[in-house]
Amino acid sequence: MDGETCRDKILSEDYWDFLIPNFRMDDLKLVPAERSCHQEMDFGYRAVYIDNSILPPLTIREYWYNSIPNCYALLDMETLNIAGISAVQNYPTLQLMGRNVMIGFIDTGIDYRNPVFTNIDGSTRIAGIWDQTIQDGTPPGGLDYGSEYTEDRINEALRSENPLDIVPSMDMNGHGTFLASVAAGSADVPNRFLGAAPESTIAVVKLKPAKSYLKDFYAIRSDAVCFQENDIMLGLKYLNDLARERNLPLVMCIALGTNFGGHNGTSLLSGMLDAYSYILNRSVVIGTGNEAAKRHHFYHMLDGINEETSAEIRVGEGVEGFVSELWTMLPNVVTISITSPSGERTRQISIRQGDRYNLRFSFEKTEVSVEYRLLLENNDSQLIFLRFQNPVPGIWQINVEPVQIAEGDFHIWLPIQEFLSGEVYFLESNPDTTLTEPGTSRSAMTVAYYNGRDNGVDINSGRGYTRDGLVKPDFAAPGVMVTGAGLNGQFVTKSGSSVSAGITAGAVALLTEWLQNEPGARGVNSSQIRSIILLGVNQRPLMEYPNKEWGYGTLDLYRALDTLRRI
């Protein structure tokens, strides 16, 4: 199939997107070739686009849960001193600046015209931009949509009077520009600004917005900014290919997150990030998200087979709908009933693998669909997937009863704040296990954020551990009131998980540069970089480590290198 035909299908709302590993390609045998197309990813995965007129309804009963792309939202000088970065930039025998290391960003794009992304001679430090939203240019090799803008093309644009006539890619949101500047921005003396790795090479993927049908499936508000899992995974392939072409080490910076998924590293995106983390000269940095104080997580340990407990959800005015996911580890098995604000209670829903129930509440005029998946592929868990449509304001109850018990614990997650159209939260919430996916990846570095001025972890910073008890976050980095590049050449101050992810990505680039220059260096992977950082983390006295807020401590790059030198 020619690239233009496939591009039309990739962009069409009439074609549904799926994530298919090669070992499940038999699932597509009955799909006519002319009604589908695909894009190759790394590690044997494909994004497949199929005409929805030949498909059954989009439910997790009909499809492999992980095959439906998830939707991810943006994670919203003194700082460099606190993280031990300024010291390694300025120390006479180090002077690390990120030279010959690439940092890749998958986000909202970049304002390539900003001087913090150029060299002293005015040439760009950006090796390439893949803008998935522009379709009248040439896509990257092996991909059939979007437009790639090479370093030569960007330099041509910078030399012209009207750069956007040559490279029309823009960051309309500002998130990607800020993130790239914090990680890799060059010095701006008047504004007292310097990024963590100011001489690193930059690579950028600007993600296209998620399709409407997928936002409807997850009950995401229509104006929410979110991006599809398959577009992110293809963006990773672009960054990896570009770094391989340049023969450069690559640090992947992921400042995107969602509450959907098992929170135990089993999503396809988490698995792919882990796979990149195992490769020499590839490192992955992920933020923990901003959900700890949003009251979107419920946790309970059932004491006995006869116990029932209720998760109470406060729903405010104007909420169009939302999705909730209940997860428990087999051999625990639970069932649920639902009580509406007027007291109308459904019967206990019987468990049959893959069944779907539509529950209608006559007084509230609300519909709730419930789907059970007991035997999830590559995941020893039970999932109950609930979708509330036009919920009446008030207190809704999910009543949970055990069918059989081992440990007896279960979790329920509501969507991240950015996906909701109004007030939705648990009355009795739990702030732990609130790091967003893909922050539960096992080998990638997951970074919490704290306030460098008062040395306190931010109340919103996503907390660990993972649902299966893996220590995450790995460590914390500054992420409160940090200055970076905004739109139109301005500098702005922001806080949040994205900030700490950007600072850490820059720090990892500096560490990678140092390791590349060591005699006999053959390269290191993300897990080894993480271990070196953990050697030098700062820990507060009288506090037990690791813990769910800080991981093993706070990032101190200079201390890590000094510790490694003395071992």
**Which residues does the annotation mark as catalytic?**
107, 175, 498
Helix (H, G, I), strand (E, B) or coil at 126: strand
In whole angstroms, what is the distance from residue 338 CA to residue 361 CA? 10
CB 71 within 8 A of CB 258: yes
Contacts of residue 223, defined as CB under 8 A and 6 or more positions apart, other chains included, come to: none
Residue keyed to tokens 């994004």: 47
Q: Which segments of 224-383 does DSSP mark as H helices, in order? A: 229-246, 268-277
The single-letter code of the amino acid at 501 is A
Task: Give the span between the Cα atoms of 250 and 254, in whole angstroms.
Answer: 13
The answer to whether residues 186 and 33 touch, using CB atoms and an 8 Å cutoff, is no
For residues 472 and 548, is the Cβ–Cβ distance under 8 A? Answer: no
- Per DSSP (E only), the strands in 219-353 are 227-228, 250-254, 256-257, 282-287, 297-301, 309-315, 321-329, 333-339
Alpha helix stretches (DSSP H) within 294-429: none
Cα-based distances in Å from 210 to 72, 103, 217: 9, 24, 11
Using CA atoms, how far apart are residues 90 and 95, in angstroms rounded to an integer? 5
CA dist 516 to 6, 39, 99, 444, 520, Å?
A: 41, 33, 10, 20, 9
Give the CA distances from residue 478 to residues 161, 284, 504, in Å, rounded to whole numbers and listed in that order: 38, 18, 9
Residues 434 and 501: their CA atoms lie apart, in Å, by 17
Please state, in angstroms and rounded to a whole number, the distance separating the CA atoms of residues 260 and 99. Answer: 37
Instruction: Report the chain's terminal Cα–Cα distance, integer Å.
Output: 57
Using the Cα atoms of residue 489, residue 135, residue 240 and residue 285 in order, give the sign of their dihedral. positive
- Mention every residue, 6+ apart, whose C-beta is less than 8 A from residue 261: 70, 267, 270, 325, 437, 438
